[in-house]
Amino acid sequence: GAGVSQSPSNKVTEKGKDVELRCDPISGHTALYWYRQSLGQGLEFLIYFQGNSAPDKSGLPSDRFSAERTGGSVSTLTIQRTQQEDSAVYLCASSLQGEISGNTIYFGEGSWLTVV
């Protein structure tokens, strides 16, 4: 597609359930980011994938959170045993890295997660 696509756009889940959030980056983009943003708050970095390098997982808040990126394209963020404090919008972004590309970062519209 033309932009970064995220699904689902909205998800309501019961406390304790697992959820999967999907991100389709712009085709060919080598870098992919996941961020979390609680209501009225700033961006919270979660994880960064860059090409074939090991991902930077330094922002994942607990071992309930994990993410993978298959084939260097689509990424899935998984939250296990969801808690109410996990309620937030989860934003995905991608960029084409390298000296020529300029590294402009493009964001998706986010996946709104509500844990009840």
| 3-state secondary structure (DSSP) of residue 48 | strand
| 3-state secondary structure (DSSP) of residue 81 | coil
Specify the residue, 59 or 76, whose C-beta has the smaller distance to another protein.
59
Specify the residue, 5 or 80, whose C-beta has the smaller distance to another protein.
5
CB of 12 to another protein, least distance (A): 16
| 3-state secondary structure (DSSP) of residue 102 | coil
Q: Give, as one character, the DSSP assignment of residue 99.
A: T
Residue 87 binding another protein, by CB under 8 A: no
Q: Which of 15, 51, 68, 81 binds another protein (CB under 8 A)?
A: 51
